[in-house]
Amino acid sequence: MFMQVIQGKVGDPAEVKSAVDRWTSELAPGAAGWLGTTCGVTADGMSVAIVRFQDEEAARANSERPEQNQWWMEMSKLFSGDVTFHDCRDSFEFLHGGSDEARFVQVIQGRTDDEPRLRELNQQFEQHAGTRPDLIGGTIGMHGDGGFTQIAYFTSEQEARAAEGREPPEEMKAVIEEEMALIRDVAYFDLTDPWLYAPR
């Protein structure tokens, strides 16, 4: 799976949602290999979109369509500054992966010097995830330069916050502590009103 992360500051979330809705209804039917999109805007105006394709070839073919270029020219005007792109050629799902049933999505970005160990710890976390029924699943994409984007899908923000406030089991606590020691420059983007799209 190939994943592209697009983010930047916007002034009007409603305009952004309208543009993404239009892409889904008008352009998505011709986007071969498109698997789904997760979007949203944080409380401070950061728009984050995660677009998943079957592979990089499908994503490139979509980018080269004239109608895609025209749509992006219009969409880019909604950003108030620079737009950042992360192409994740190495991405994988955990638990049940992304879910259109989620009512709260948290995007976490950071950097690590030990990607293999971070992946191992994620697999260990899955073994104890039964203690977090609020967490449906998610996707992790590696940027290729030590950076990563993790998208976690939750049943609701209220249930996610409540679970965060509880002390985790000792075996999970050890995994979390080692994971936090492996990452740096961490940023959190809370999508309290996530826009979730999938092929029809």
53-107 per-position pLDDT tens digit: 999 999 999 999 999 999 999 999 999 999 999 999 999 898 888 999 999 999 9
Structural domains of the chain sorted by starting position, each given as residue range(s) with its CATH number in brackets: 2-88 (3.30.70.100), 90-191 (3.30.70.100)
d(CA 132, CA 134): 5
- In a 13 Å sphere around the CA of 150, the CA atoms on its Cβ side amount to 19
Express as a percent the part of the chain with pLDDT over 90: 81
| Distance in angstroms (rounded) separating the CA atoms of residues 45 and 86 | 19
**Cβ atoms of 122 and 140 closer than 8 Å:** yes
Q: Which residue has the tokens 């889904």?
A: 24
The mean pLDDT value for 101-127 works out to 92
- Does an H or E element contain 160, and which? helix 157-164
User: Per mean pLDDT, which range of 5-9, 79-83, 102-106, 121-125 is the poorest?
Assistant: 121-125
The percent of residues above 70 in pLDDT, for the chain, comes to: 100
Q: Side by side, which strands form the sheet with 104-112?
A: 90-95, 135-142, 147-154, 104-112, 183-191
118 touches 182 (CB < 8 A): yes
Instruction: Give dist(CA 10, CA 83) in Å, integer.
Output: 10
pLDDT attached to residue 127: 80
For residue 56, the SS3 value is: helix
Quick one: pLDDT band at residue 145, thresholds 50, 70, 90? very high
User: Does residue 168 have a pLDDT over 80?
Assistant: yes
Question: For the packed helices 66-75 and 13-22, what is the interaxial angle rounded to 10 degrees?
Answer: 170
Find the mean pLDDT for residues 6-12: 97
Its pTM stands at 0.93
CA of 114: how far to CAs of 133, 149, 180, 184, in Å? 28, 15, 12, 11
| Averaged pLDDT score across all residues of the chain | 94
Contact between residue 57 and residue 87 where contact means Cβ atoms under 8 Å apart = no
Opening angle at CA 118, ends 115 and 119, nearest 5: 90
pLDDT value at residue 171: 79
